[in-house]
Amino acid sequence: MGRRVGILTGGGDAPGLNAVIRAFVKRGAGQLGWDVVGIEDSFDGLMDRPRRVHHLTPVSCQGLLHRGGTILGTTNRGDPFAFPSADGPRDRRRDLVEGVKAEGLEGLVVIGGDGSQAIGLRVMEELGIPVIGVPKTIDNDLSATDLTFGFQSAVDVATDALDRLHTTAESHDRVMFLEVMGRDAGHIALHAGLAGGADVILLPEIPYDPHEVAEKVRRRKARGRPFSLIVVAEGALPAREDGSAVPHDQVKPRLKRGGGAAAIAMAQLEGLVDAEMRHTVLGHIQRGGSPVPFDRILATRFGVAAVDLVAEDRWGEMVRLQNGKVGGVPIREAIATYRLVDVHGEMMRTARAVGVEFGERG
């Protein structure tokens, strides 16, 4: 009763953000009678004058469950400790403290990735503004939580693209490269590749040998399958002699037409395989649109759990899912680790067992 809490979304958007906001408001404002204040564009809405904040009620959250994006807006540029400006990073801590005070907020709920959570932690520890975190990473690379919303939606978009490329690859006997999100961790590539029947998956975790990839393509052709589907995570790179990844800036110049990881991979294969090749970059399509039911439910659970953490004054904690149960973990602990694909784990074993290859050097 009488609580007044701010809520904001930071970093790249992910399907399910609105479902978190809706759940938080339905439970916090609708059932517990709190004042919930939506802050625009990460921390920005609190630092500007006039402030861009909105009183959120269950009525203002109608229809949000299946809507992509975030009604609060988001940005990667909302760091009050180092706010980007023409003259370099600017210190806007005072603006933030004043904003929180002027709005009478008891604390902030920060829905965001590891970057936003790290800022949230500093906001709490250095500025004394209580913060609760809700994890958001479409890449599912936060090890503190078993799953994050948005990931399954991204996998679905990527799998649908693979299903489509499959028929056209087969019709034309082509090698098709599909680049999906995943700069550091290849979870989306691995899951979508497995679900979409990819022949090769290139991951940031495994620098690949183009000759191994070419060999796989040739073996398929020899078996009467003259087409191949290759999923490439954004962060996948070819290997050097010692097995480490070729630095990105050394690969780029070798490309004819520039581009990202899929273009690089395709360029590496030219000359090694005798087949038409094409590449596609899914890009932001993976982020947008209505969340799949799985993510709507997970996001709703996270939103309700955030209310629980606030109600129990567990400031400094972040919502997380662990072994099927939603609970809290100290933000400090949550942002300390990162989950890469376990290259010896069961998912990888499964992939290999159905014939997927990863371009590993023999």
Q: Can you say whether the dihedral through the CA atoms of 120, 315, 310, 148 is positive or negative?
A: positive
Quick one: 241 or 256, whose CB is closer to a copy of itself? 256
Residue 156 makes contact with a copy of itself by CB under 8 A: yes
Nearest to 124 by CA among 153, 85, 97: 97
Residue 124 makes contact with a copy of itself by CB under 8 A: no
Which amino acid would we find at residue 90? Answer: R
Among 52, 54, 272, 288, binds a copy of itself (CB under 8 A): 288
Quick one: 100 or 282, whose CB is closer to a copy of itself? 282
CA gyration radius for the chain?
A: 22
Residue 289 makes contact with a copy of itself by CB under 8 A: yes
**Cα(310)–Cα(36) distance, integer angstroms:** 12
Residue 242 makes contact with a copy of itself by CB under 8 A: no
Among 161, 203, 237, 335, binds a copy of itself (CB under 8 A): 161
In order, the DSSP letters of 13-54 are --TTHHHHHHHHHIIIIIIT--EEEEESTTTHHHHSSS--EE
Residue 7 makes contact with a copy of itself by CB under 8 A: no
Residue 148 makes contact with a copy of itself by CB under 8 A: no
Six token digits for residue 103: 């709005």
Residue with tokens 């942002």: 335
Quick one: 22 or 92, whose CB is closer to a copy of itself? 22
**Cα(207)–Cα(250) distance, integer angstroms:** 14
Shortest Cβ 44–a copy of itself spacing (Å): 11
Quick one: 100 or 147, whose CB is closer to a copy of itself? 147
Between 35 and 74, how does the x/- string for binding to a copy of itself read (CB under 8 A)? ------x----------------xx-----xxxxxx--xx
Piece of the chain touching a copy of itself by CB under 8 A; list 48-56, 129-137, 159-167, 236-244:
159-167
Residue count, binding to a copy of itself (CB under 8 A): 84
Quick one: 98 or 197, whose CB is closer to a copy of itself? 197
Among 155, 185, 251, 267, binds a copy of itself (CB under 8 A): 155
**Cα(307)–Cα(120) distance, integer angstroms:** 17
Q: Give me the torsion for CA of 33, 108, 117, 290, rounded to 10°.
A: 50
Q: Which of positions 250-269 make contact with a copy of itself (CB under 8 A)?
A: 257-259
Residue 355 makes contact with a copy of itself by CB under 8 A: yes
Residue 323 makes contact with a copy of itself by CB under 8 A: yes
Six token digits for residue 246: 């070729």
What pairs with residue 90 in β-bridges?
A: 83
Catalytic residues: 139
Nearest to 109 by CA among 99, 120, 98, 94: 120
Piece of the chain touching a copy of itself by CB under 8 A; list 20-28, 91-99, 117-125, 206-214:
20-28
Shortest Cβ 253–a copy of itself spacing (Å): 12
**Bridge-based pairing state of the strands 131-135 and 200-202:** unpaired
Coil, helix or strand at residue 135: strand
- Whether residue 210 is preceded by a cis peptide bond, meaning omega within 30 degrees of 0, is no
**Cα(98)–Cα(89) distance, integer angstroms:** 19
Shortest Cβ 145–a copy of itself spacing (Å): 12
**Cα(278)–Cα(227) distance, integer angstroms:** 11
Among 127, 340, 343, 347, binds a copy of itself (CB under 8 A): 347
Element (H, E) at 350: helix 346-353
Chain-centre distance of CA 64, in angstroms? 20
Among 51, 136, 220, 296, binds a copy of itself (CB under 8 A): 296
Among 98, 146, 215, 360, binds a copy of itself (CB under 8 A): 146
Q: Which of positions 182-211 make contact with a copy of itself (CB under 8 A)?
A: 191-192, 194-197
Among 152, 186, 267, 273, binds a copy of itself (CB under 8 A): 152
Shortest Cβ 97–a copy of itself spacing (Å): 25
